[in-house]
Amino acid sequence: MSIEGRLTLRNYRCFDWHNPAVLEFGNGFAALVGANNSGKSAALRAVYELRSYFADLIYLPQNPFNRNPLGITDIAELSNDADTGRFQFELELTDYRHPQTHGHFVATAITIEFRNSTPAIIQLKALDLAGRMNHWANLEPSVISLGMESSSQGWSIGYANVDIAALSSFANELSQSKYYPAFRNAINEGAGSYYDLPVGTALVSTWDQWKAGSYRAHKIAINRVEREIADLLGFRSLQINADQSGKTLDVIIDGRPQKLYEVGAGVAQLIIVLAAALIHKPPYILIDEPELSLHPALQLNFLATLGAYAQKGVIYSTHSISLARSTAERIYAVKKIGSGSSRMHPFGDNKINFGGWLGELSYSSRVELGCEGVLLVEGPTEVMCFQEFLRKLGKDHKYVLLQLGGSSLIRGGVIPHLSEIARIVDPAKIHAFIDSERDAADAPLAPDRAAFIEDCRSIGINVCASERKATDNYFEANGIQKALGPEFKPLAPYQKLKTCEKPWHKSDNWRIARETEFKDIENTDLGRFLSSL
């Protein structure tokens, strides 16, 4: 079972008791948007700092957190300045199964509070056979015994057998996740790590072991990183080797050798971060400002490549609302609200401003570098899919992709919004591909989708609705099974994803697109549309 959940931080650094930070963990991409010093990094870094506690959760009754947080010398640093000495974190599952027998419970959430550095279980929530949520408050370790049930990990609390396997697995995923900070372009002498980035000789020696060692899988992985960085940056060839001193990396770009410190900051960042992600292959990657030192034309591809090395998802902080809108299925705004306090909440700015979004994505400067137009697609999962398809055609730098937010914009009456783009971009260079949502080949388009197409055509935009139901229905077995496993099967042309025998998350569509060969779709209407761009 795929485990999804959330981490809530109360009175943690800049997030006080009344304004907790909430990080949602699931497949795909999530973004934190905010100004400098608003608290974005503090929220992401918490997963690094609390790692040891997540790993030890299952053993809490017998061994109550005898390790220290990572990266700090005094646990009191983690408390908000307005109420020093205590803070809380809560782990909560957002998708869970029900128990199968009476007297058994499935744990869905646990709240741990640190008071003067000492942890206490403030609350444990668990579901019973009837679907009722039960609560245990202020649990003392003495009333909990650790045991193993026939098929899962469990705690015994009085008469109750509480299965905490799923909650513990979620905590363990967080403990294995990696945090990559914003400063990530230096190679220093000496082995070590900067948060979860291996730097200096630590990075060099690990790279050398993987590339020159005896494990075939490591060599294949290193070759993949070199190839993907070369593709991202438009190099004909790229080789990365440890230099003879073991202190830096030699980078050979199109046959010309350079040291890592001699290449630009953007290239160095790609190498360091992707190398670290390759080495770790974590459940989740948390990264500050992935757009740093990268032109907007590269930012989307960098995130997609980084996401391919995460087993489940990526959470990133950014200053670019447009980058967040383009890639993230979950967006949160982080704002400083007073001295030492910040607030995080779902990003609620639904104002449609295509002109502003194109400006943030530096459309005008991208035209000078060969950008040929704008491609409008259904939603954020389609942005990442179409980016992957365009990469296979060598057209990924030629189009700025904007998502329409599904039915929020795919309707009639949107000519004023479409005209914002047409004032900046020649309408002949604006293209749109939307899902038909048909249930059968001869079914008509829904009125709102038909009206959207009419509005697009009235101002000269090239628009197509899919012949099949949605983007999901174009994936073939080859790409699906490479990305997700042999147990997943293609959909019928008009089948809903949620009705298939083993559905996948739509947030995994871009992974499938990444593994799909263009020949698998080139003879479909989608393939012909992409080839015509």
Q: What confidence tens digit (pLDDT) does each residue in 134-184 have? A: 999 998 877 887 765 444 578 888 778 888 889 999 999 999 999 999 875
Distance CA 443, CA 469 (A): 10
Q: Return the pLDDT at 233.
A: 81
What is the average per-residue pLDDT within 293-300?
Answer: 80
Collapsed DSSP state (helix, strand, coil) of residue 45: helix
Q: Return the pLDDT at 353.
A: 67
Q: Return the pLDDT at 200.
A: 74
Q: Return the pLDDT at 376.
A: 93
Kindly tell me if the per-residue pLDDT of 364 is higher than 70: no
Furthest CA-CA distance within the chain:
72
Find where tokens 């992409």 sit: 530
What is the average per-residue pLDDT within 320-348?
Answer: 87
Kindly tell me if the per-residue pLDDT of 357 is higher than 80: no
| Helices and strands in the chain: count of H runs, count of E runs | 16, 24
Split at pLDDT 50, 70, 90, the class of 351 is: low
Q: Return the pLDDT at 198.
A: 76
CA trace torsion 381, 386, 392, 393 (10° rounding): -170
Kindly tell me if the per-residue pLDDT of 299 is higher than 80: yes
Instruction: Quote the pTM value.
Output: 0.86
Distance CA 162, CA 154 (A): 5
pLDDT tens for residues 256-288?
Answer: 998 877 787 777 778 888 888 887 889 999 999
Mean of all residue pLDDT scores within the chain:
87
What is the average per-residue pLDDT within 393-419?
Answer: 88
Q: Return the pLDDT at 363.
A: 64
Kindly tell me if the per-residue pLDDT of 507 is higher than 50: yes
Q: Return the pLDDT at 360.
A: 63
Q: Return the pLDDT at 184.
A: 59
The tokens for 224 are 């993949």
Measured in whole angstroms, how far is the alpha carbon of residue 506 from the centre of its chain?
A: 13
pLDDT tens for residues 18-52?
Answer: 999 999 999 999 999 988 889 999 999 999 999 98
